[in-house]
């Protein structure tokens, strides 16, 4: 038991590597897009998206294991993790809302008045969506905390829905919302990315044994492959509509970041194919220790985080 708990604890520490990886993605986008963007808020936006995807992933595992008599991941651990992640997500989204209000008003990010934030929420559509996001994340955190503290057999679907709504609130109101089915494509893109990244991070945070990896990694692998193809298809459509041709891929900051995302996704697809052969199959056959699976999960999520950084920066690039 001591070794197992230590493995999970070290996994949490190692997963912090996703933060500098995500920031590296934002920095790369800044180099590629200058002077077209991105906004400085992208640094906080990628942290919010990463936390949101993780909360969505833990709720996803709760939903996947619904009705199982002996789930591989303990519901109490998943609820506790969801509460902690969603709490951090709420704080991050609240700070992001304040920074967006300051940016919209042309004020200093360090001296924005409460009235400026209130006006931003009351008058500006982006402010209202930001407020909805904060409310949804707070409800996720509160629901998960109550479920954990009172050991309630709480259904995961409402928490999954709330976290999904919080993730898509801002993206569905962007440029693609002006196109037919554009908001639907954006929602599918965001939720596919959150499933791909978030469920693996959640598994790395909560899987305590070789048996848990053996049971759940093949399930994740199937879901991840479906998610990544949805992600790729919707991303191609979104980029094609936004750019309107091939030349803007190299002549605009937005296009150059899109190209970087394509390269990152191609590398991740190749890595995923290789990991299905060298990781998923041995883990499913109980031929790989939990610690080894954890190392691979940490490496893959760090690589995904770079792509998340590029995506967060792309959202605020002209």
- The pLDDT score that the predictor gives to residue 318 is 65
Identify whether 115 is part of a domain: yes
What is the rounded distance in angstroms from the CA atom of residue 251 to the CA atom of residue 122?
37
- The pLDDT score that the predictor gives to residue 79 is 94
Identify whether 157 is part of a domain: yes
Using a cut of 0.75, tell me whether the model's pTM lies above it. yes
What is the rounded distance in angstroms from the CA atom of residue 84 to the CA atom of residue 53?
13
Q: Indicate which CATH number applies to the domain containing 278.
A: 1.20.1630
Number of domains in the chain: 1
- The pLDDT score that the predictor gives to residue 265 is 92
Identify whether 110 is part of a domain: yes
Identify whether 318 is part of a domain: no
Identify the domain containing residue 14 by its residue range: 2-313
Identify whether 239 is part of a domain: yes
Q: What is the pLDDT along the chain (318 residues), one digit of tens a residue?
A: 444 444 445 556 788 889 999 999 999 999 998 887 788 888 999 999 999 999 999 999 999 998 888 888 999 999 999 999 999 999 999 999 998 888 887 776 666 778 888 888 998 888 899 999 999 999 999 999 999 988 767 788 999 999 999 999 988 776 555 566 668 888 999 999 999 999 999 999 999 889 999 999 999 999 999 999 999 999 888 888 888 888 888 888 889 999 999 999 999 999 888 988 899 999 999 999 988 999 999 999 999 999 999 998 888 886
- The pLDDT score that the predictor gives to residue 284 is 92
């Amino acid at each position: 038991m001591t070794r197992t708990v230590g493995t999970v604890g070290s996994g949490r520490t190692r997963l912090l590597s996703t933060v500098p990886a995500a920031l590296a993605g934002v920095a790369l986008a800044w180099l590629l897009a200058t002077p077209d963007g991105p906004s400085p808020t992208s640094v906080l936006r990628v942290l919010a998206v990463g936390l949101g995807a993780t909360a969505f992933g833990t709720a996803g595992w709760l939903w996947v294991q619904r009705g199982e008599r002996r789930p591989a991941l303990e519901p109490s651990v998943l609820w506790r993790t969801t509460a902690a992640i969603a709490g951090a997500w709420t704080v991050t989204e609240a700070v992001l809302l304040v920074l967006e209000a300051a940016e919209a008003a042309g004020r200093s990010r360090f001296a924005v008045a409460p009235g400026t934030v209130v006006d931003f929420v009351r008058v500006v559509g982006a402010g209202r969506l930001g407020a909805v996001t904060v409310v949804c994340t707070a409800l996720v955190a509160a629901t998960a905390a109550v479920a954990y503290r009172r050991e309630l057999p709480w259904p995961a679907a409402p928490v999954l829905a709330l976290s999904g709504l919080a993730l898509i609130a801002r993206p569905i109101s962007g440029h693609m919302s002006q196109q037919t089915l554009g908001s639907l494509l954006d929602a599918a893109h965001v939720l596919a990315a959150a499933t791909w990244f978030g469920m693996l991070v959640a598994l790395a945070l909560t899987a305590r044994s070789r048996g848990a990896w053996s049971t759940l990694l093949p399930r994740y692998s199937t879901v991840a492959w479906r998610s990544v193809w949805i992600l790729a298809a919707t991303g191609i459509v979104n980029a094609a509509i936004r750019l309107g041709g091939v030349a803007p891929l190299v002549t605009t900051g937005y296009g150059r970041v899109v190209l970087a995302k394509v390269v990152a996704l191609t590398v991740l697809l190749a890595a995923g194919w290789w990991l299905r052969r060298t990781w998923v199959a041995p883990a499913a056959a109980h031929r790989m220790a939990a610690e080894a699976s954890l190392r691979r999960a940490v490496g893959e999520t760090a690589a995904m985080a770079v792509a998340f950084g590029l995506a967060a920066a792309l959202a605020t690039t002209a």
